[in-house]
Structure 1
Amino acid sequence: MPKKALILLEGSRMGTGQLYVQAAKRLGLQPIILSADPAQYNYLATENIEAIRVDTDDLDALIRECSRLRETYDIVGITGFPNPGESLYAIVAKLCRHFGLPGPNPTSIERCCDKFNQRQLLAEAGVPVPVYRMATNATEVESAAAEIGLPVILKPVVGNGSSGVRLCRNAEELAEHAIGLLGGTYTWQTSPTILVEEFAEGPYFVADIMGNEVVAVGAATFGPPPHFVYDEYIYPAPLTVEEHERIVKVALSCLRALDLNWGPTNIEFRWTKRGPVVIEVNPRLAGSPDPQLIQLACGVDLVTEHIKLVVGDECDLRKRHSQTASAQFLVPDRDGTLDWIDGANRAADVPGVAEVTWYIKPPTPIIRKGDSRDCIGHVIAASPNHEQTEVILQLAVDLVRWSITPFPTIDE
C-alpha cells in the first residue's frame, strides 16, 4: 500500500514550514515540499524529507508534478504557505479542487489576495475598514492622499509580510515612497497598483480563526515608524470581555462578506475611536510564532488541526488550559554582516522560556527592508499571567547578543 503523503507548497523561513513537517510526521503522513528554491529552507535537511524543485507559480507544472508523485504516493492533502505572496495560497486551492481534495474555495481566496477588492467587499457588507483609494501612478497617489488626508498608508495591492507598506506622514515621505514603489525598487507580483488608505491609529489586534470559529485573539506592537516590523506578540490580548466580543463579531462578519468558511483565517485589526477596524483579512494560518503562542496560551495546535482538515478529518478546537504567551522578535538596528550570535542556550534555560529561534545563521549579510524579513529570530515565553510572562521574556531577551559589522564604505 502506498504511503500517505501531504504536499506542502513552499516552506517558511520563520519556522511555520517546519511545524507543518513535524505535525505531518506525527499524524503518520509523508510530507513532501514543492518549492521554486528548496535550498532556502534550512530545516529540510534536518527533517530529512523530500523536496522537489518546481515553479510554484505555474499551476500546470504543479499538476504535472503532483500527478507524477501519485504514481508512488497516496496524496491525501495539499496545502502551502504565502511565499512570497497570498496568490500561492490561491494556487493551493486550485490544486485541491483539481485533485478532488479538501481545501478552500479558490474564488474566495483570490478575492482576498487583491487588497483593494477585499476592501470593497468588506465595505459593501458594512464591515468597518479604513478610508481607501487605489492608485497606479504618482499623481493618483498624491490625489488620493489629499482626499483622505495625511498621514496615510501606502501598500501594494498584492503582497504580504508588510512588504512595501509604509506610513507616509508628510508630502515628502509620500512622494519618496510612491517613487520607490513605482520606480523599480519594489518587485511587483502584478502590475503596479497601490492602495492608499487612512492611517487607522490605535492598538493592533489579530483574530485567529479555523472554519467559522475564532480560536484566539492576540495583540502586537511594532518597531518605530514609518515601517511595520513586529516587535512583540502576546496571547491572549489584554481585552475586556466586551472588547473581545466586538472583535469576534467583526471577524465573523468578515468571513461572511468574503465567503470564507473553510480552514484557517487570520484577521488584523486596529482599535480606533470607531472600535475595531479591519486592516487585513488573510485567508490562511498566521505565520510563526502565532501558532506556537496559541498552543501555549490555550492548548490548541492550529497547525495539526489544519492538517486534519486538509486530509479530510475533523479538527478539535477545544481549549485545554489558560496561560499568557508572548514572543519578542529579534531585529537588527543596522545593515552589515551578522558575524556571530550568542546567548541562545542561556535564554532557553530561563524558566518559562518555551523557544529561542534564529531564522538565519552567521555569517550572513543583513540588508533591512522595513518589513517582516528584518526579523532574524524570536524568543517565546509563557506563564500563568501577563506580568510574569513579560518579566520572563525580558530576562531571556537580555541574554541574547549578536554582532553586526557594517558593510565597508567606498571612499570617494
Structure 2
Amino acid sequence: MTWFALLESNTTGTGRQFAAAALARGLRPVLLSRDPSRYPYVVDDSLDTRVLDTGDAGQVLAACRALARDGGLAGVTSSSEYYVAPAARAAAELGLPAPDADAVARCRDKSHQRRALSAAGVPVPGFRTVRSAGEAVAAAAELGLPVVLKPITGSGSVGVRLCTDSTEVARWAARLVGDDGSPILVETAVRGPEFSVETFDGVVRAVVGKRLGPEPWFVEVGHDVPAPVGETVRAELGATARRALAALGLGWGAAHTELRLGPAGPVVIEVNPRLAGGMIPAAVRAATGLDLVDAVIARASGGPSPVIAPAAGHAAIRFQLLAREGRVAAVRGRAQAAASPGVVVANALTVPGAVVRRTNSFQDRLACVVAQGRDAAAAQRNAERAAPLFSIDIQALEDVYEGGRGR
C-alpha cells in the first residue's frame, strides 16, 4: 500500500479525518511528528508514525524519501496551518502535487498579506505594523479608535483583541510585543457581521456565517452553512475572496478566507492557505455534500475528485465553551449529543486530566456539535439543542492541589 504523509496534524477534528480519508482512498497514512503522543487518535486508529524534528526541512525531506523507497509515496500535506508550507516544499522536492510553498509561507505573515492585498486593491482594514506599545498607541491614534491588535502570525484568534482606548492599546500591545519587540498589527476595527469563504482550486464551495462571542475577544462560538444572507451578498463575498487569492498567488487546493461585511461592502480580514478549522469542513459536507477533507487528500495525491453526495442543504456548528478554569474531571454526554436530532458530528475537544484555562481563543471550546436541517432555522435549532448535552466536569485547581496534599 502506497504511503501518504501527514506532516504534524490537528490534535482533534480534521487531523483524524485526514488520516481516515487517505485510508479510504487505499493509501497508508503516516504521521510525521516530533511527538505522536500529542495525538490521541494515533493509538486508537493504529496510525503509522515516524518521529523526527518536523521543524527541520532536511529531516522532513529525508523521511519522505525513505517512505518513497519503502513502497512509494503518493503525497505529503498537513492539516496544521504551521506545517502547510513545509509539507508543500517536501512534496515539490519529490515531484508530488503541491501548492506554491513560497506563496503559502508569505501568507502566514499577516503584515505581508495586508500589504499585498492593499497593493492589489483588495479591501482590507487600515493597518500598521508596530514593535512597541508606544508605536501601537500612535498607530491607533492615526487610524482612529477602536482598533484590533493581533500577532502577525498565529491562528484561532490567539492574542487578538479589540481595544477601545489608548490605555487598552498600550497594555495589550506591551503584552503581545513582549521583551523582544515582536511585530504586531494594529488595524481599524471593521464593524459588521463576519463570514468565511471556503474555496477549492479557486472555486467558491461555501460561504459560512460566523458567530462570535462577546467583545473585546473574537472567539468563534458557532458557524452556519450557508451563511444566512441573500445570494447577492454571498456572491459579493465570494468574489472578494477570489480576488484576495489571486493577489496572494494562491488558489491551489483549499483556502479559508475570513471577511467582514462593512458599511462599504466586504473587507478581507485574513486569508488562510489551508482547509478551515473549527469543524467547518464537516458542516460543508452536511450542507452541500462535498467532502473537503477528501478533496484535499485527492488533490495532494493526484487522485480523482470526490463525488458530491446527497446533502441536507443547511448545517450549523455550535461549541460548548469553558465555564471555569481547572482540571477536567470527567467528560460525559457525547452519546446523547450524537443521538440528538439532526446531529452528524459530536466531539469532545478535551479529555479528563487536561488543565483548561481561559485564553479567549479557540482553546476555550471544550465540545462541538455539527447538525443539519431542512432549513437554516432547523439546523441551528438542532445544533443549539445538542451542544449543551455534553457535561464537562471541571475541578478547581486549588481543590486538586488540596486533594493532593490530603492524600
Unaligned runs of 5+ in 2: 403-407
* 1:365 and 2:355 matched: yes
Q: Is the 8 A contact 1:162 1:228 kept in 2?
A: yes
Cα deviation for residue 319 of structure 1 reads 6.9
* 1:224 and 2:224 matched: no
Cα deviation for residue 322 of structure 1 reads 4.6
Distance 2:367 2:390 in 1: 10
Q: Which residue of 2 aligns with 1:343?
A: 333
Q: Which residue of 1 aligns with 2:148?
A: 153
Q: Is the 8 A contact 2:320 2:388 kept in 1?
A: no
Cα deviation for residue 289 of structure 1 reads 0.5
Distance 2:272 2:354 in 1: 31
Report which stretch shifted further, 57-66 or 175-184. 175-184
Q: Is the 8 A contact 2:224 2:380 kept in 1?
A: no
* 1:379 and 2:369 matched: yes
Q: Which residue of 2 aligns with 1:31?
A: 29
Secondary structure (helix, strand or coil) at the match of 1:315 reads coil
Question: How do residues 240-255 of structure 1 correspond to structure 2 at under 5 angstroms?
Answer: 240-255=230-245
* 1:300 and 2:290 matched: yes
* Letter of the 1:15 counterpart: G
Cα deviation for residue 239 of structure 1 reads 1.4
Q: TM-score, normalization: structure 1?
A: 0.93
Q: Describe the superposition over 1:38-64 as per-residue Cα deviations: whole angstroms up to 9, x where unpaired.
A: 111101111101112222111111111
Distance 2:270 2:106 in 1: 12
Question: How do residues 134-153 of structure 1 correspond to structure 2 at under 5 angstroms?
Answer: 134-153=129-148
* 1:112 and 2:111 matched: no
* Letter of the 2:323 counterpart: D
* Letter of the 1:130 counterpart: P
Secondary structure (helix, strand or coil) at the match of 2:157 reads coil
Given candidates 79, 85, 105, the residue that maps to 2:77 is 79
Q: Is the 8 A contact 1:305 1:317 kept in 2?
A: no
Secondary structure (helix, strand or coil) at the match of 1:376 reads strand
Greater fraction helix: 2
Given candidates 215, 224, 237, the residue that maps to 2:227 is 237
Question: How do residues 382-393 of structure 1 correspond to structure 2 at under 5 angstroms?
Answer: 382-393=372-383
Q: Is the 8 A contact 1:13 1:359 kept in 2?
A: no
Give the aligned CA root-mean-square deviation in angstroms.
Answer: 1.8
Distance 2:134 2:344 in 1: 50
* 1:259 and 2:243 matched: no
Q: TM-score, normalization: structure 2?
A: 0.94
Distance 1:165 1:282, change over 3 A: same
Q: Which residue of 2 aligns with 1:325?
A: 315
Distance 1:210 1:14 in 2: 22
Q: Is the 8 A contact 1:342 1:401 kept in 2?
A: yes
Given candidates 111, 125, 134, the residue that maps to 1:130 is 125
Q: Which residue of 1 aligns with 2:168?
A: 173
* Letter of the 2:108 counterpart: C
Q: Which residue of 2 aligns with 1:311?
A: 301
Distance 1:165 1:12 in 2: 21
Distance 1:380 1:348 in 2: 9
Unaligned runs of 5+ in 1: none
Q: Is the 8 A contact 2:319 2:387 kept in 1?
A: no
Distance 1:136 1:271, change over 3 A: same
Paired positions, count: 401
Distance 1:170 1:323 in 2: 43
Q: Which residue of 1 aligns with 2:45?
A: 47
Q: Which residue of 1 aligns with 2:187?
A: 197
Distance 1:278 1:370 in 2: 22
* Letter of the 2:210 counterpart: A
Cα deviation for residue 171 of structure 1 reads 2.0
Q: Which residue of 2 aligns with 1:396?
A: 386
Cα deviation for residue 222 of structure 1 reads 1.3
Distance 1:179 1:42 in 2: 36
Distance 2:388 2:94 in 1: 50
Report which stretch shifted further, 95-104 or 173-182. 173-182
* Letter of the 1:244 counterpart: R
